[in-house]
Amino acid sequence: MVHYFLIYTLIFLKCISALTPPPENFTLTSITYAGTGCPAGSIAARLSPDRTKLILSTDGFAVQSGDPTYPASALRKICQVSIAHDYPTTHQYRIVAPKITGLINISKNVNATTNFAVYYPAFDSPIPAFKATIEGPTYGLTEWNLTQSQPEWPESGWSPCGGPSARTLNLNVQNRLYVKNVTVDEGRAEIYTFLFDLEWRNEYCHS
């Protein structure tokens, strides 16, 4: 047990020591998206002023239950987002500590679950997945955190080194309600914003 603890401690310290500030020429160039949770004009992406956060804003990314007139599709919404970006060939980044702002109002017998996976086209790397589940009754929740589904992968999720082959970040996002009685148990979970902290390193890339 002590042996495994020391290994993970050394990996953690190595990761911390290798982190660098975000490069000044890190920019987002375009965004495309599709899915039941993101109609045209409903998604926008931007960087924080210090370029340490990727911010994804949504409009109408909501799931709901409790009304017999709601279709079955009202319980689950998905969105596939592709973000084109530029950053130096000397750097890599990864998403950590994702957070959501929104509004959750769910009754007893209703659970709200949000999850997403990160991947890069044509890049052979473990895909980090994040998830949050909120149990009802919960009313008025406006901010919650997602946790990584594979915490045993401390080195997962790094992007390719920058350059032409690393210009797309893909996010597969799902917002869902699990309900005991879909026509009776009331619930609504709406996502307004995803906040993704970014970590950077340049130890493993060469210009």
The predicted structure's pLDDT at residue 207: 60
Q: Does some domain include residue 33? A: yes
Alpha-carbon gap, residue 154 to 191, rounded angstroms? 28
Express each pLDDT in 51-81 by its tens digit: 999 999 999 899 999 999 999 899 999 999 9
Number of domains the chain contains: 1
**Owning domain of residue 86:** 2-201
116-141: average pLDDT: 84
Single-letter code of the amino acid located at 180: K
What is the value of pTM for the model shown? Answer: 0.84
Omega before residue 137 within 30° of 0, cis: yes
The predicted structure's pLDDT at residue 45: 97
Q: Does some domain include residue 191? A: yes
> For residue 156, is pLDDT > 80?
no
135-141: average pLDDT: 94
Q: Does some domain include residue 207? A: no
Alpha-carbon gap, residue 95 to 150, rounded angstroms? 14
Q: Does some domain include residue 206? A: no
Write the CA distances from 99 to 102, 131, 196, 206, integer angstroms.
10, 10, 7, 32
Express each pLDDT in 198-207 by its tens digit: 999 988 786 6
Q: How many CB atoms lie within 10 A of CB 144?
A: 17
